[in-house]
Chain A
Amino acid sequence: MARESNSIRAAHTTRGRRRRLVLALGALLLSIAAAGCGSGGSGSGSTQESTASAAASAAPNTDQSAERSIQVGVEYTGGKKGKADSDLPPLGIGWANANGGALGQPWATRSVEAAIEFVNNELGGVHGRPLELIQGSECDLGASAQQGTLCAQALLNNPDVKVILAQSVGPGAQSFNSTAVGNGRVPFVSAVPLDPSDITAKNTYFMAGGPLGLPALATFQASNLKAKTSAQIWPDDPSLSGFLKGYKTLLKSKGIEPSVALFPPGAPDVTSAVAAAQPGSQDAVQTMPFSPSQCTAIYKALTSLQVSTPVLGTGQCLDPSVKKQLGDFPKWLYFSPEPNPNIEDPSGRVGATVWALKKYDADHWEADIQSSQDQAYFGLVLTIAKWLNQIVPKDIDLKSFDAVAKAFHGPAWGGGAKVEFGKAPAPALGSNSERFSEYLGDGKWKYRSGWIAAAVPGA
């Protein structure tokens, strides 16, 4: 215990130094990433249009059979077809998310719960034992910073929690991550880091880079769109401003002159901010909406300003409410660290996700899977199940979990093709790539690139 505490302390004291190092390297990260991506990207695809799936398709993953879906799930997790044995003691997964509050993202909880049901009812659980999602009422990160600390401590204090899975958003995110990331007691798994320093934490595993994946966007604009100028329309949010500086440098290194305008996330009207970036005279427009309504507001602003430049948008623009308001989704280019659920997936994992969500989250899956990281959080549960299936339950600890995580090289369910944990300088970041697709209208899609990897800080 004392040794463990010492290691925790050492981790904490060195984290500040690491953080400074990371931030200092942050200025370099994107320019270095330019070199990493400049060769046309990596991963399973390329920066060229994916010829294999270039044919436009409309939601082909919705009709995969139950048998195929379960088979794909069993093969991935290493479990057995059928139900888990409810007489056996469950394995606890601690869960934290912003379920409520102004920044609430309850879809992630629905997605994780559906994945737990899928594993327990169809994939035989883990070593035959059911997975149990442990989420107390204090684990609503959307409520307050106080809740973040309370939640992290509650999960760390609970001996039944074998691994913590979280989506760190909302007012409680910072205080939650300060306590839970690199805690030295229980492994921590999430889709994306909250802060660049998170990717150096011990016993921590992120499947995507979040804003660290931005270099892929620069590569795409330079290589695919042949852009020389790019309007950057970002929310004025401190969690992104640090990335924006490096991103501007990276765009310039790719020969793209950025024109940046920030809009306050709570601004009643974004038209003036959008106009400030002069989108009409640029080769590309990159938007970073945080919500469907922000996306709609940006779309309306771009339309009213009569902008015809190619626009890059986020999954927030694919929420059904956007379609309801605008008649269809914006015919833009979209980037995501997840596979596009509307385009045929030979691996069957996207189809299996859709099948399971239809069964276990019938009311919300259709909206969630388009606009959110539904696949990523669903996939994280399956990946955790896969890792735990490789460890004898009584031996589950930081060391054994770390060993199986580092031995996993992908493809990640709901994520990129290649995964690698433990590699300096970002040992906690397993994958950091994006894939681009284009919405053609009337429900038709096509990929515009393969997976484009983004170099990580200090690489």
Chain B
Amino acid sequence: MNQVIVSALLGLGSATLFAGLAVALVVQYRATGMINLSAGAIATFAAYIFYWLKVEHAWGTAPAFAAGLLGCVLLGVLFELAVVRRLRGAPPLAKLVASLGLLLLLQALFLLAFGTTAKTAPALLDTGLTSAVRVFGTPIPTDRLYVTGILVVVTGIVALGYRYSRMGLSTTAVAENEGGAILFGIPAQRISLYSTVLATVLAGGLGMLIASQSQLDPTTMSLAIVPALAAALLGGFTSFIVSAAAGLAIGIVQAALVFLQTKPWFPTVQSTPLPGVAQLFTFVVVVGALWLRGAKLPVRGTTRERRLPPAPEPRRIATSTVALTGACVVLVLLVPAAFRQGLMNSLAGIVICLSLVVIIGYVGQISLMNLALAGVAAFAVQKLTVTAGLGFPLAPILAVAVAILFGLVAAVPSLRLRGVTLAIATLAAAVAFQEFVFKNSTFGQEGGGSFLPAPSLFGLRLGPEADFPGWDGKLPSPVPVLACVLAAAVIAVVVATLRRSTFGQHLMAVRANEGAAAAVGVNVRNAKLIAFAISAGMAGVAGVMTAYSFGGVAASEFDVWIGLSLIAFAYIGGVTTISGAIIAGLAFPGGLGGVALQSWTGLSADWLSLAGGAALLATVVVRPEGLALAHAEQLRSLGSRIGRFRQRAPAGRGGDKAGVLEE
């Protein structure tokens, strides 16, 4: 028991990071309604400034720290004016995606400015390496205790400030009823600005304090956002003290779990400590808290809050399918080999984005775990093929079934959750899948990656070396690309048909208002479960396509940040439309657009990531409805101007109605 306590105390460094980020998240959410996924990256941003000035330019500790804080203030002001203010009335998903845009932008900047090698950050509190307090005979470094103490004091000040100061009370008023607060003369925009800057400074200050106990690289502190979200959730995104205490508790329990893993009775995998237990614990905390509370986040009384963009009914399904499939076939036969692989990557991206169209666009369930479900199918097809010896197509069919099963399990929380709470729960689930399942050498990755042989059917090879008339022998053969075209076309038709069906109308009704949908006889529970199953099945198809395309599976292919990027691209394209999914799939890095851009410009992937993050922020702010709908609107406007089209129902009309009804 003593050792458990000691281990828990040794985890105070991580615990303080989780707690501090949770407080920053609450500050931001209370004033702006934004769940800022980039809080960890902002902490990294400040830590890099401190490192750069202190180590590379020999500044003193105090001026370097002040410069780090100043950098955070500037970043906060810029983020507020350019993004947060413009998204005040935007749907929660748009705000989430915007914060993701900042995260991607900052990470790309870190890579370009400081390279890939993790830096050793200088200590802000130089207590000496051996300064320690002995607890049960084990030295506990004093710097952890100091940092935790500072966090406790700062959290107390913030809590008291929000409880008694004019700004704090104004923030509470804005959070509860923004319209009313404005009528009473409370400057909502200024409150938003102050809060964004405060959240940024809190995260940044913490980053500079913690970095020396950690590693200064683009991802380490960014990843701490997931337990921080769990802590903020436990605090209802309202209470600073509960959030901070929850963050500390999560960090301490995670550290104790690391110690308990060394015990002989603790479950192991292949005689080694079970991986991902800490992340699984975070997921259990999130789901448990949400399930027990059964509550959603406090609804903010914004002046006007838009819902998701309209989801127009697809028209001319057969014509569009034939035309797009034909175009793909022509592309496959004519373009150079690299573009064939790019198209194949894009087709897998399109299919997974279509799964997002179903679950987010049609039912309004912000699920962030679809790439994880794709990973489940990918690992399943690999295990079924290599370990169980099943062939094609039985193995992929069963793999998709496994993904559906997991999707249904994941759907259970959605019966009680909506909006951003569901987003947080599914984000924690995605991280748990990544760490606990995919990195488990029994269920997931073996060695450097799990090999998957190319598929064949009745002796006919379907992999990258498959024979094809007139093939020039350059990889990949057109055969697997054509198979992917076929799969994507079938999935697209399924989605289009689903939207036009009676069940599709039910889904739209659920998206608009669950209570109203139930009142008119829609079985909301079943509708959600079926939608989750369909979406998971599609994600599974994408996972299988990916596994065959790469000739194997690795956990890093289904990383949570890639999943978030995918959702961001889906949002840019238009998360409510099939055309939006196609745009997203084509634009996704490694897809056709990325291959073309890379081959024409020669830009490195880091520069493309930087451009992607900036484009994401710009699109969310300027075209929150997504490129597909914006493009459709422009086409309609052009058509009416030149008089070529009569006043018949344009492509988006049905959807517009749905959108208007929702408003």
Chain B residues with CB under 8 A of A143: 589-590, 605-606
Closest Cβ of chain B to A99, distance in Å, is 7
Report if B573 contacts A (CB, 8 A).
Answer: no
A1 within 8 A of B: yes
| B453 in contact with A261 (CB, 8 Å) | no
- 8 Å CB interface, B214-237 against A: 214-221, 223-224
If A15-B453, A178-B552, A269-B13 touch, does A150 touch B465 (CB 8 Å cutoff)?
A: no
Determine whether B68 belongs to the interface, using a CB cutoff of 8 Å to chain A.
no
A321 touches B117 (CB 8 A): yes
- A147's contact among B55, B273, B590, by CB below 8 Å, is which? B590
A266-B141 Cα distance, complex, nearest whole Å: 20
Most A Cβ at <10 Å: residue of B55, B122, B448, B453: B448
Task: For the complex, give the distance between the alpha carbons of A20 and B447 in Å.
Answer: 12
What residues of A have a CB within 8 angstroms of the CB of B256 in the complex?
A: 272
A100 touches B604 (CB 8 A): yes
A174 with B553, Cβ < 8 A, contacts A293-B120, A306-B132 known: yes
**Closest residue of A by beta carbon distance from B603:** A137
Binds B, one of A242-250, A341-349, A411-419: A242-250
CB-based contact A104/B116 at 8 Å = yes
Asked if residues B139 and A101 are in contact (CB atoms below 8 Å), the reply is no
The interface residues of chain A lying within 8 Å CB-to-CB of B210 are 268-269
Contacts of B604 in A (CB 8 A): 99-100, 137, 140
Select the stretch in A66-74, A124-132, A295-303 that faces chain B: A295-303
Within 8 A of B (CB), among A249-292: 249, 259-264, 266-269, 271-273, 275-278, 291-292
Given contacts A197-B447, A262-B273, contact A268 B120 (CB under 8 A): no
Q: Given A101-B605, A268-B210: A242 and B270 within 8 A (CB)? A: yes
> Is B359's beta carbon under 8 Å from chain A?
no
Q: How far is the CA of A268 from the CA of B210 in the complex (A)?
A: 8
The answer to whether A236 touches B448, judged by C-beta atoms less than 8 angstroms apart, is: no
Cβ of A198 to closest chain B Cβ, rounded Å: 8
Does A23 count as interface, using CB distance less than 8 angstroms?
yes
Which one of B257-265, B394-402, B413-421, B615-623 contacts A? B257-265
- Whole-angstrom distance from the CB of A289 to the nearest CB of chain B? 10
CB contacts under 8 Å to B, within A169-216, are 170-171, 173-175, 177-179, 193-198
Determine whether the beta carbon of B6 is less than 8 Å from that of A275: yes
Q: Which of B119, B120, B386, B594 has the most CB of A within 10 A?
A: B120
Neighbour of A238 across the interface among B7, B345, B441, CB < 8 A: B441
The residue on B at minimum CB distance from A306 is: B139
Bound CA–CA A37/B275 (angstroms): 31
- Give A305's nearest chain B residue, CB to CB: B139
- Chain A nearest CB, measured from B277 CB (Å): 9
A272 and B258 contacting across the interface, CB-CB below 8 Å: yes
A142-176, CB < 8 A from B:
142-150, 152-154, 156-157, 168, 170-171, 173-175
Report if B298 contacts A (CB, 8 A): no
The residue of chain B having its C-beta at the shortest distance from the C-beta of A1 within the complex is B473
Which of A9, A23, A100, A242 is in CB contact (< 8 Å) with B111?
Answer: A100
Known: A100-B606, A174-B557, A271-B10. A146 touches B590 (CB 8 A): yes
Q: Is the CB of A305 within 8 A of B138?
A: yes
State whether A304 touches B141 (Cβ < 8 A).
yes
Give the distance to chain B from A180, nearest Cβ to Cβ, in Å: 10
Chain A residues contacting B451 (CB-CB under 8 Å) are 15-16, 19, 178, 195, 197
Name the residue of chain A whose CB is nearest to the CB of B561.
A102
CA separation between A305 and B271, bound complex, in Å?
27
Contact of A324 among B120, B138, B453 (CB under 8 A): B120
Chain A residues, CB < 8 A from B453: 12-13, 15-16
Is B550 in contact with A194, judged by CB distance below 8 angstroms? Answer: no
Interface segment, B171-179, B313-321, B335-343, B495-503?
Answer: B335-343
- Contact of A122 with B by CB under 8 A: no
Residues B598 and A262 in contact, CB atoms below 8 Å apart: no
Q: Is the CB of A238 within 8 A of B272?
A: no
| A43, CB-defined interface residue at 8 Å | no
Closest chain B residue to A23, Cβ basis: B446
Q: Write the chain B residue with the least CB distance to A259.
A: B262
A260 and B551 contact, CB distance less than 8 A: no
Shortest A28–chain B CB gap in Å is 14
CB within 8 Å for A101 and B120 given contacts A149-B341, A153-B341, A294-B215:
no
Complex-state Cα separation, A177 to B256, whole angstroms = 38
Q: Identify which of B129, B138, B444, B449 contacts A300 (C-beta below 8 A).
A: B129
A153 contacts across to B, CB distance below 8 A: 337-338, 341, 464, 474-476
Instruction: Using CB atoms, name the residue of chain A closest to B252.
Output: A272
Q: Are B258 and A171 in contact (CB under 8 A)?
A: no
Residues in A neighbouring B221, C-beta threshold 8 A: 268
Check: B662 CB closer than 8 A to any chain A CB.
no
Chain B residues, Cβ within 8 Å of A249: 271
The yes or no answer to B324 lying at the interface (CB within 8 A) is no
**In the bound complex, CA of A347 to CA of B10 (Å):** 48
Chain A residues lying within 8 Å of B17, measured Cβ to Cβ, are 268-269
Within the complex, which residue of A8, A157, A178, A272 is in contact with B10, where a contact is CB–CB below 8 Å?
A272
Q: Does B115 contact A (CB under 8 A)?
A: yes
| B-side contacts of A237, CB under 8 Å | 439
Query: How far does the Cβ of B634 sit from chain A's closest Cβ, in whole Å?
Result: 31
Is A106 an interface residue, CB under 8 A from the partner? yes
Q: Is A239 an interface residue (CB 8 A)?
A: yes
Q: A352 at interface (Cβ–Cβ under 8 A)?
A: no
- Is B28 an interface residue when CB atoms closer than 8 A count as contact? no
Tell me whether A149 and B118 are in contact (CB under 8 A).
Answer: no
Residues of A within 8 A of B132 (CB): 304, 306
Residue interface bits B265-279, CB-to-A below 8 A is 1, else 0: 000011111011010
B213 at the interface (CB under 8 A from A): yes
Which residue of B214, B444, B450 contacts A268 across the interface (Cβ within 8 Å)? B214
Judge whether A245 and B270 touch: CB under 8 Å.
yes
Most buried by A among B258, B276, B385, B453: B258
A155 vs chain B, min Cβ distance (A): 10
Q: With CB as the reference atom, state the residue of chain B lying closest to A195.
A: B447
- Which residues of B have CB within 8 Å of A171? 554, 556-557, 559
- Assuming the contacts A179-B551, A236-B275, A292-B120, asked whether A276 and B261 have C-beta atoms less than 8 A apart, the reply is yes
Assembled-state Cα–Cα distance A275/B224 (Å): 21
Q: What residues of A have a CB within 8 angstroms of the CB of B559 in the complex?
A: 171
CB-CB contacts of B195-226 with A at 8 A, as 1s and 0s?
Answer: 00000000000000010011111111101100
Contact B216 A242 (CB under 8 A): no
Q: A86: CB under 8 A from chain B?
A: no
Asked if A104 and B11 sit within 8 Å, CB to CB, the answer is no
Query: Could you say which of B8, B385, B476, B550 has the most chain A C-beta atoms within 10 Å of its C-beta?
Result: B550
Across the two chains, which residue of chain B brings its CB closest to A248?
A: B271
CA A198 to CA B552, docked complex, whole Å: 13
List, in ascending order, chain A residues with CB within 8 A of B115's CB.
Answer: 104, 106
**A contact residues around B551 at 8 Å (CB):** 149, 175, 178-179
Contacts of B118 in A (CB 8 A): 291-294
The CA of A432 and the CA of B445, in the complex, are separated in Å by 24
Q: How far is the CA of A327 from the CA of B464 in the complex (A)?
A: 53
- Could you list 7 examples of A-B contacts with CB < 8 Å? A104-B111, A195-B446, A242-B441, A266-B223, A267-B220, A271-B141, A272-B259
Given contacts A241-B270, A268-B14, A276-B7, 7 further A-B contacts (CB under 8 A): A145-B546, A157-B475, A171-B556, A171-B557, A268-B214, A300-B213, A306-B139
Chain A residues with a Cβ under 8 A of chain B = 1, 5, 8-9, 12-13, 15-16, 19-20, 23, 98-106, 137-138, 140, 142-150, 152-154, 156-157, 168, 170-171, 173-175, 177-179, 193-198, 236-239, 241-242, 244-245, 248-249, 259-264, 266-269, 271-273, 275-278, 291-294, 296-297, 300, 303-306, 319, 321-322, 324-325
Interface residues of B (CB under 8 A from A): 6-8, 10-11, 13-14, 17, 55, 111, 115-120, 122, 129-132, 138-139, 141, 144, 210, 213-221, 223-224, 255-256, 258-259, 261-262, 269-273, 275-276, 278, 337-338, 341-342, 345, 385-387, 435, 438-441, 444-454, 461, 463-465, 467, 473-476, 546, 549-557, 559, 562, 589-591, 594-595, 598-599, 602-606
